Structure 1
Amino acid sequence: MHETIPDLMRHAASTYGTREFLRFPDTSLTFEDADARSDGLAAALIDKGVRPGDRVAIMMDNVPDWPLSWLAILKAGAITVPVNVRYRAADLEHVLRDSGAVATLTTEEHVPHIPGTVYVLGSVPRARIPARTHEIANFQYTSGTTGFPKACMLTHDYWLRTARLVADQVRLRDDDVMLIAQPYSYMDPQWVTLLCLIGGIPLVVLPRFSASGFWASAREHGATLTYVLGSMPLLLHKQPPHADDGAGRLRLVLCSGIRPDLHRAFEERWGAPWRELYGSTESGPDLGVPIDAEETVGTGAMGLPYPGKEVTLDEETGEILVRGAPMMKGYWNHPEATAHAFRGGWYHTGDLGFRDEHGYIHHAGRLTDMVRRGGENISCAEVESVLTQHPAVLQAALVPIPDDLWGELPKAFLQLRPGHAADEDTAMSVIEHARGRLARFKIPEYVEFVEGFALTPSARIEKRHLLHPERDQRAAPALFTGKERP
């Protein structure tokens, strides 16, 4: 097993050479191309003064320079800080400041939003560089369980193990073609890139996810494998049936959070098995369902532990606990949060579960103070902090409300300062304030004004009083949608 990601890249370049590696709408790169171009960019970074252990951010759309920059930063011995292109003032400044990034690699359209040192990618010399390594490959920001986003320190070993475990699960073949549509700043395109390096197969990267165009792209590119999550499956299901839905070369869909009631319909419509993959940024892949486990279809089973992983349930709470490898080194700058997450020697996922008679673990809710909107984790504390910076807001509480399409949507309960009216103008003023400071997916979809909040003994808002199961959270008095006015 290779010790670092650059080692794997060089091995793939020497083994697979001129075979296609990365396929974007207007560009195709071979394994040799990717190795040489990332070498050149790494040399340029070193020339700019980047040193082993430095953090370098990447803020780009799904363009070839994203994976090339990732490889280059690692070849320079530095640590990559992926940044969501939808981040704006509050979340962007937090990530760059907290990580201590020495520079950000980006493209022209994102320059106006980025503080600090920015490098716009252009032509770079081709050069061989000396091997420079650092144990940590990524500061991968996640909302975690509480508070502002924290950086998971992910090692080269973490990424390589993740890719190999999934490669074994999918029984990777020489004629496979992988397709991905998630933003490269997320986990998935990164481990998928390594999976393709392992197998010497092409990775097709779509600019963005399009429910209407996804399967047409899969057929066009001859994709055999793909990975979807969050709201993607339901959005695909809501598209009108097409005569070619079951056509093409697709042989397996990996998915996190397959809806049991639609599982069999997915397989019948698109002519391929759908298999569950459960994990997190902190712990990588934890549970998976084998390709041939047809008995799990429609049951909601998330699978069995991957080799090297142990997964159990807390006897008192039912929380899913994990240990083994891969696993993050901890949260950057947050030793107390790290200790809390790993109390008792197990990583506490914040998810509740149960085990069926066949040994498969199922999901049964979540303990953490977060909203899961489609494939996005939203830290309630982060959004609440921004909302309370508005001059009209005294206190704020963000909670998840159920949604058929997105799974959950964020709803904000606001207690106003004296002198401010609980009306639509105030609600929209707060929403516009948030839009300038947070990524779009974090903006509350609903706003409700309250006279006050019940507090816990530690003076925290007791959110359980806000969510009454018998009440329609979209039809409450003084409720306003977070959508923009026409």
Structure 2
Amino acid sequence: MTHVPQVRRRPVVAGDRMAEDPAVPTLTGLLAQRALDAGDREFLRFGEWSWTFAEIDAWTSRLAHRLIEVDGVRPGDRVALMLPNVVHWPVSWLAALKAGAVVVPVNSGYQRADLAFVLGDSGARVVVTDAEHAHLVAEVVASEDGLGDVRVLDLADDGSEGFPCSAPPTTASHAGTLANLQYTSGTTGFPKACMLTHGYWTRLGWICAAVTGLGGDDVLLTSQPFSYMDPQWNTAVALTVGAPLVVLPRFSASTFMADVRRHRATFFYVLGSMPTLLAKQLPTAADRDNDLRMVLCSGIPVALHAELEERWGAPWREVYGMTESGIDLFSPFADTGSVGSGSLGGPVPTKQVRVVDPADPTRAEVAAGRPGELVISGRPMMKGYWNRPDATDQTLRDGWLHTGDLVVRRPDGGVQLVGRIKDMVRRGGENVACVEVEAALERDERVVASAVVAEPDEVLGEEVKAFLQLAAGVPADRATAEDIVARAGAELARFKVPRYVEFVADFPRTPSERVSKPALKARAAEAPGTTHDLSPRRS
């Protein structure tokens, strides 16, 4: 069957209403509203099991009562969730919010030190987990100072049966109520928790619904870990538009598009390495046999953008945001000129952006075409970092969020990402943006993924090193390294061309599917592989 574009449905949130306040200010209010006006509609689908809005509303109310009456949860208490992608994750999230609690998402891959830090830093009173993680949680709670009173709730028997199906009176009633302590990926040092309110999530859902024009007949799909924010904002969108959300156990490039077809998904969001990994799967006759209407992505590979759209028969558009700020920039789906441009688009109507000189104490704006730090103000925005007033003051200055991302303003008025302030190689007197070199390397079909880092050098201060993950069957030898670097070098200034290449089987990644370069460098130092020095170098 050939993909046939569907008739555009009537959006729940029209694009010209994007700047308006959400119709309902809280997540719990949204769920209650959907239970009233769309109660029989499917809300959540995990594998072959699904639940309606009314069923989830009743379940979360019962569990909220249990948290209050059995576990002693009071408004403002923190409830940690350490679960894989199972329906109990969003159910526990919404139930804890109905109990007036603040949810602390915990990466289910955390080990003892990470878990102990998050539980201690957040001051969690209850941990909701499963059989796979219960032993670790119990061990940490029993052995770490200050955690002795933490209660552990096993989702296999949440004990909610018999409690009322109506929401308890502690349900949040305004947008400013704190909903999450959302810990960042923690690629440098211990993670920080962004304080996110109900209004943050409902506005994020509202804006994303307006950006996409999604309606109740759409089907959303996500595969990222639920402890990361993407499935959570997908949940907020589903609640906003009254559409089902399909949640996969994990991202698998080899099966992802088959799941998109099987579930008849019309929308998904991907980021990081995910588009590249999808594009490197062998084409099949079924590629365009899908119901996709649109895809949002953070970091569409420029050289693959048109190919991605052609292969799967749907428009892909960039969206930019951070945990701290939700959504900031987007490319409209009607803007076909953005395809392959590298543009992040322009700000959503509730945000203002500036491009400033990070070395200038006055943070003066730089001229168009010159790189500078992207700074953002507006809504949604975190309230700050939990227990980190100094970090909050460093990141949020006079109402402006300093992103740490280097961008340039494009002639068409859009914004283009060129790298991270801290993700640079300083080779001699030249700055090398790692993301630019990675993009050139990944345009080679033999390269599945790459990571460029700084290597200390006595003469130049730092040299450029590339870690490369190769496609199956490609020999990991010096000849391959030389040929890949030579091809990339044809697109790069001479000082940006990697001197060192090390092949790896895979990359350590953050929950957001970005390569964790600190973990990569630590792994390489502990168990170094063969590094090909492609000298002699140009001066």
TM-score interval for Structure 1 and Structure 2 normalised by the shorter chain: 0.7 to 0.9
Which residue number corresponds to residue 382 of structure 2?
Answer: 328
Q: Which structure 2 residue ranges, 5 or more long, are not aligned?
A: 1-22, 142-150, 360-371, 426-433, 443-447, 457-507, 535-539
Q: For residue 84 of structure 1, what is the amino acid of its counterpart? A: N
Range with greater deviation from structure 2 (285-294 or 138-147)? 138-147
How many angstroms apart in 2 are the aligned matches of 1:35 and 1:311?
A: 38
Q: Where does 1:433-472 land on structure 2 (aligned, <5 Å)? A: 443-444=519-520, 446-448=523-525
Which residue number corresponds to residue 352 of structure 1?
Answer: 406
Secondary structure, counterpart of 1:285 in structure 2 = coil
Q: CA deviation at 1:41?
A: 0.7
How many angstroms apart in 2 are the aligned matches of 1:313 and 1:186?
A: 28
1:57 corresponds, among 45, 70, 80, to 80
1:408 corresponds, among 434, 451, 462, to 451
Q: Where does 1:196-345 land on structure 2 (aligned, <5 Å)? A: 196-315=238-357, 318-345=372-399
How many angstroms apart in 2 are the aligned matches of 1:160 and 1:286?
A: 15
Q: CA deviation at 1:294?
A: 0.3
Q: CA deviation at 1:210?
A: 1.1
Which residue number corresponds to residue 468 of structure 1?
Answer: none
| 1:124 is the counterpart of 2:166 | no
Secondary structure, counterpart of 1:37 in structure 2 = helix
Tell me if the contact between 1:412 and 1:447 (Cα under 8 Å) persists in the aligned partners.
Answer: no
Superposed CA offset, 1:413-464 (max 9, x none):
9xxxxxxxxxxxxxxxxxxxxx9xx999754364248xxxxxxxxxxxxxxx
Which residue number corresponds to residue 131 of structure 2?
Answer: 108
How many angstroms apart in 2 are the aligned matches of 1:369 and 1:335?
A: 25
Which residue number corresponds to residue 234 of structure 2?
Answer: 192
Which residue number corresponds to residue 7 of structure 2?
Answer: none
How many angstroms apart in 1 are the aligned matches of 2:413 and 2:154?
A: 51
1:362 corresponds, among 404, 416, 419, to 416
Q: CA deviation at 1:473?
A: 9.4
Tell me if the contact between 2:85 and 2:250 (Cα under 8 Å) persists in the aligned partners.
Answer: yes
Which residue number corresponds to residue 505 of structure 2?
Answer: none
Secondary structure, counterpart of 2:321 in structure 1 = strand
Which residue number corresponds to residue 532 of structure 2?
Answer: 475
Q: For residue 135 of structure 2, what is the amino acid of its counterpart? A: P
How many angstroms apart in 2 are the aligned matches of 1:118 and 1:439?
A: 27
Q: Which structure 1 residue ranges, 5 or more long, are not aligned?
A: 372-398, 414-434, 450-471, 478-486
Tell me if the contact between 1:237 and 1:266 (Cα under 8 Å) persists in the aligned partners.
Answer: yes
Q: CA deviation at 1:357?
A: 1.2
Q: CA deviation at 1:131?
A: 3.5
How many angstroms apart in 2 are the aligned matches of 1:190 and 1:82?
A: 10
Range with greater deviation from structure 2 (122-131 or 40-49)? 122-131
How many angstroms apart in 2 are the aligned matches of 1:131 and 1:4?
A: 13
How many angstroms apart in 2 are the aligned matches of 1:277 and 1:70?
A: 25
How many angstroms apart in 1 are the aligned matches of 2:27 and 2:153?
A: 23
Superposed CA offset, 1:382-439 (max 9, x none):
xxxxxxxxxxxxxxxxx999574445378999xxxxxxxxxxxxxxxxxxxxx9xx99
Superposed CA offset, 1:307-346 (max 9, x none):
1100110045500000000000000001011001012431
How many angstroms apart in 2 are the aligned matches of 1:298 and 1:193?
A: 29
| 1:97 is the counterpart of 2:140 | no
How many angstroms apart in 1 are the aligned matches of 2:201 and 2:178?
A: 10
Superposition CA RMSD, Å = 2.8
Change (3 A) 1:66 1:336: same
2:38 corresponds, among 10, 13, 16, to 16
State the number of aligned residues: 406
Which residue number corresponds to residue 2 of structure 1?
Answer: 24
Secondary structure, counterpart of 2:259 in structure 1 = helix
Q: Where does 1:83-94 land on structure 2 (aligned, <5 Å)? A: 83-94=106-117
How many angstroms apart in 1 are the aligned matches of 2:330 and 2:382?
A: 19
Which residue number corresponds to residue 463 of structure 2?
Answer: none
Q: For residue 524 of structure 2, what is the amino acid of its counterpart? A: V
Q: CA deviation at 1:146?
A: 5.5
Q: CA deviation at 1:173?
A: 2.2
